[in-house]
Amino acid sequence: MLETDYPYIALDETCKSEIKTVYHTAGAYRVPAGDNGNLLETLKEHVLDIGINAASFNFRYYKAGVLT
């Protein structure tokens, strides 16, 4: 999707509903944490979605820097 397809407009409104579909998934699978080689191979052919558990104490009180 390009920025021209859904331009930013600074208004207090709801999102547009006529957003283009960019890709369709045919399923999902998990790349194990730390398996960078497999991750790079996966990215050559598939879209990557990332989930973050933001409920942890460290994440909740994060202010700056790199979170490890």
For the entire predicted model, the pTM comes to 0.36
**3-class secondary-structure state, position 41:** helix
Does pLDDT of 50 surpass 70? yes
Q: How many CA atoms lie within 13 A of 22 on its CB side?
A: 8
Burial profile 35-57: b = 16 or more Cβ within 10 angstroms, e = fewer = eeeeeeeeeeeeeeeeeeeeeee
Instruction: Report the distance separating Cα 47 and Cα 40, nearest Å.
Output: 11
Per-domain residue ranges of the chain: 19-63
Instruction: Encode pLDDT of 4-43 as tens digits.
Output: 777 777 777 776 666 566 666 667 777 788 888 888 888 8
